[in-house]
A and B are shown apart, each in its own frame.
Chain A
Amino acid sequence: MDKSFTERRRRELLVAASLAVAAALVPLFVKNPNVQNIMILTLMFGALSQSWNILSGYCGQISLGHALYFGLGAYVTTLLFVKFGVLPWFGMIAGGIFCALIAMALGYPCFRLGGHYFAIATIVIAEIGLLLIQNWEWAGAALGIEMPVRGDSWLKFQFARSKLPYFYFALALACVAWFVTWWLEDSKWGYWWRAVKDNPDAAQSLGVVVFDSKMGAAAVSAFLVAVGGSFYAMYVSYIDPGSVMGFQFSLLMALPAVLGGIGTLWGPLLGAVILIPLTELTRSYIGGSGRGVDLIVYGTLIVLIALARPEGLIGLFSRKGATR
């Protein structure tokens, strides 16, 4: 029995590695920049959703305010670069650490709230963050800040001519988020988180420090999401509060995981692969003037999934996969 477990873990790694290699080869055949853009966003939201899944899927603390960390990551990186000349690579790490600390500071009062109240608190806090940035003159207020373009460079992570570097970074991000999840799944934290989600009282009686588990999950989750936000800022090279910290980002992080399978290893990526292209396509073909058609489309999708297969699409593949 032990052997089959180790085998399964190894197989998961192998599948992930093969998928990563396959994904890395795609741009060799797909040269259309619009399609490449969709692939980059898919990988990015896959990574973000995977990170969201750590706190909300595994540990069961549903956050609808992760846009806060996404936006703060974007802002920290951009501000450090524009105002102090700090390279985005360092800005990314700084943003991640900053957001991990913020997540713990917010978690300290919020993790005492149970169930839906926690989710509501996260929405409110993210909105407050948005309002604060919108009114902060030094950080560009509602107008936002532009990344000065200084020519293609890996050092500054700026590329005007090709999308490929962004693609490979997004792919790396998705791989890291997946691997971190995979690794944590079979660690003390992974077991603690699932125990806390399923039954905090029983968890406590078995020596699980519930509060610490939640804090740990929040910190890891926020760190990874902030790195994603940093990447997005570099990719679009112009940020304003609404375009990086709006509520839609919180949704776009939660929905792929919910669609694919919340609290599962593969769910978020699977969900992102379906949802993000769909969003982008509906936006470009039928979006246009009437905003929100894309939201209607995947709102419908989520309702269908919730009715037909509440454990997410991953449940179509295997009974077992749904439980992990």
Chain B
Amino acid sequence: MTALLETRGVWQRFGGLVANSDVSISVGRGEIVGLIGPNGAGKSTLFNLIAGVLPPTQGSIWFDGEDVTKMPAAERCQRGVGRTFQVVKSFETMSVIDNVIVGALVRNTVMREARRKAHEVLEFTGLAARADVLASDLVPAEKRRLEVARALATEPKLLLLDEVLTGLTPTEAQTGVALVRKVRETGITVLMVEHVMEIVMPLVDRAIVLDLGKVLVEGKPADVVRDPKVISAYLGDRHAQSA
């Protein structure tokens, strides 16, 4: 079977800045893949290209056997791409349940069913008790979880998680990890951008390391963390030699 997601020779230039150069990655069905790399490596850009926020300058993106390079974000969501935002973008004046209903409406046209689906997702993500609270009243960790809940309500085939575990307390991060595991068990493919290596590595099947807009290394998490190229990208050359 073909990969669920594939980028083929993707380039993204912002004026003179090359954010992604010739990035070709693929994510198989049911996989959980980590996209890592130091600051400014081009992770978020690649992420936005996959989600359809902007079209790549060059190259193509394939999802579920279809060329989606020029497809707008809303349509990609209908095809089965769900995403969260690094800087949370809750619908602040709406209640938690209403936030999730917006997502649930992608696959449910009858309001009653969309509402039921939203309750189900809140149950799944552990936000059920907060259903009627305004999104603006949630604490940061809950807002992160709401991002995931909303995306899950769209019933995605591929879930793109943009640093959902970053900036949380260790306990919160642990609950977050548990949630990602649970999501994966339902058969949803996950591609996650993450900063904190020690959190991502035990979680993912495969890690892709970006550096300076290019794919640096790709492989099993255990191998990736020992790779001298990765160490030098994160910590500088001196550390790579001693490893």
Which residues does chain B contribute within 8 Å of A191, judged by CB atoms?
A: 98, 101-102, 105
Q: CB within 8 Å of A: which of B145-164?
A: 150-151, 153-154
Using known A-B contacts A199-B90, A201-B89, determine if residue A207 contacts B78 with beta carbons closer than 8 Å. Answer: yes
* CB nearest to B133 among chain A residues: A323
Pick the 5 closest A-B CB pairs, nearest first.
A202-B89, A198-B91, A207-B106, A207-B77, A204-B73
Q: Is the CB of A199 within 8 A of B91?
A: yes
Instruction: Say whether A160 faces chain B, with CB atoms less than 8 Å apart.
Output: no
SS class of chain A's interface: helix, strand, loop or mixed?
Answer: helix
A181 to chain B, nearest CB (A): 16
B111 touches A323 (CB 8 A): no
Interface size, chain B (Cβ < 8 Å): 37
B residues 199-234 near A (Cβ < 8 Å) are none
Among A5, A199, A202: residue with most chain B CB under 10 A: A202
Which residues in A have some Cβ–Cβ distance to B below 8 Å?
A: 1-2, 5, 186-188, 191-192, 194-195, 197-199, 201-210, 263, 323
Does the CB pair B89–A208 fall under 8 Å?
Answer: no
Are B131 and A201 in contact (CB-based, < 8 A)?
no
Contact of A204 among B72, B98, B101 (CB under 8 A): B72
Residues A323 and B95 in contact, CB atoms below 8 Å apart? yes
Is the CB–CB distance between A194 and B105 below 8 Å?
A: no
Tell me which residues from 78 to 133 in chain B have a Cβ below 8 Å from any Cβ of chain A: 78, 82-83, 85, 89-95, 97-98, 101-103, 105-106, 109, 111, 114-116, 119, 131-132
12 further A-B contacts with Cβ under 8 Å, apart from A188-B114, A197-B93, are A2-B116, A186-B111, A191-B105, A192-B102, A198-B91, A198-B93, A199-B89, A202-B85, A205-B51, A206-B154, A207-B77, A208-B74
Which of A1, A2, A206, A263 is within 8 Å of B77, CB to CB? A206
Does B197 lie at the interface of the complex (its beta carbon under 8 Å from any beta carbon of A)?
A: no
Q: Which chain A residues border B74 with CB–CB below 8 Å?
A: 204-210
Give which listed residue, B97, B106, B116, contacts A206 with CB less than 8 A. Answer: B106
Q: Is B3 in contact with chain A by the CB < 8 A criterion?
A: no
Within 8 A of A (CB), among B37-81: 51, 53, 72-74, 77-78
Distance in angstroms between the alpha carbons of A207 and B101 in the assembled complex = 12
- Inside 8 A of B97's CB, which chain A residues have their CB? 1
In the complex, A194→B102 CA distance in Å? Answer: 9
Kindly state the separation between the CA atoms of A2 and B114 in the bound complex, as whole angstroms.
11
Bound-complex Cα distance A202 to B149 (A):
13
Partner of B134, one of A194, A210, A323: A323
Compute how far the CA of A203 lies from the CA of B97 in the bound complex, rounded to whole angstroms.
Answer: 15
Q: Is the CB of B93 within 8 A of A188?
A: no
Task: Tell whether, in the assembled complex, residue A263 and residue B90 are in contact, meaning their CB atoms are under 8 Å apart.
Answer: no
B binding-site residues for A, Cβ under 8 Å: 51, 53, 72-74, 77-78, 82-83, 85, 89-95, 97-98, 101-103, 105-106, 109, 111, 114-116, 119, 131-132, 134, 150-151, 153-154
Of A199, A208, A209, A263, most B-chain CB atoms within 10 Å:
A199
Contact of B151 among A199, A204, A206 (CB under 8 A): A206
B94 and A194 within 8 A (CB)? yes
Q: A204-B72, A206-B77, A207-B74 are in contact. Are A195 and B102 (CB under 8 A)?
A: yes
State which of B73, B82, B93 has its C-beta within 8 Å of the C-beta of A194.
Answer: B93
Question: In the complex, which of the residues B53, B89, B91, B153 has the most CB atoms of chain A within 10 Å of its own CB atom?
Answer: B91
Nearest residue, chain A, Cβ from B110 = A188
- Chain A residues contacting B132 (CB-CB under 8 Å) are 1
CB-CB < 8 A to B89: which residues of A? Answer: 199, 201-202
Question: Which chain B residue lies CB-closest to A212?
Answer: B74
A207 to B93, CA, bound (A): 19
Q: Which residue of chain B is the closest to A198 with respect to CB atoms? A: B91
Given A195-B91, A198-B91, A201-B53, CB of A207 within 8 Å of CB of B105: yes
Q: Please tell me if the beta carbons of A203 and B102 are within 8 angstroms of each other in the complex.
A: yes
Contact sample, A vs B, 12 pairs, CB 8 Å cutoff: A1-B97, A198-B90, A199-B90, A199-B91, A204-B77, A205-B74, A206-B74, A206-B150, A207-B103, A210-B74, A323-B94, A323-B134
CB of B188 to closest CB in A, whole Å: 16
- Among A2, A194, A206, the one with the most B-chain Cβ atoms within 10 Å of its Cβ is A206
Closest B residue to A320 by CB, please name it.
Answer: B132
CA distance A206 to B74 in the complex (A): 6
Q: How far is the CB of A56 from chain B (nearest CB, A)?
A: 14
What is the minimal beta-carbon distance from A130 to any residue of chain B, in angstroms? 34
**Residues of A contacting B116 with CB < 8 Å?**
2
The smallest beta-carbon distance between B185 and chain A, in angstroms, is 23
- Cα(A1)–Cα(B118), bound, Å: 12
| Chain B residue, CB-CB nearest to A208 | B74
Q: Which residues of B contact A203 (CB under 8 A)?
A: 91, 102
Q: How far is the CB of B90 from chain A (nearest CB, A)?
A: 7
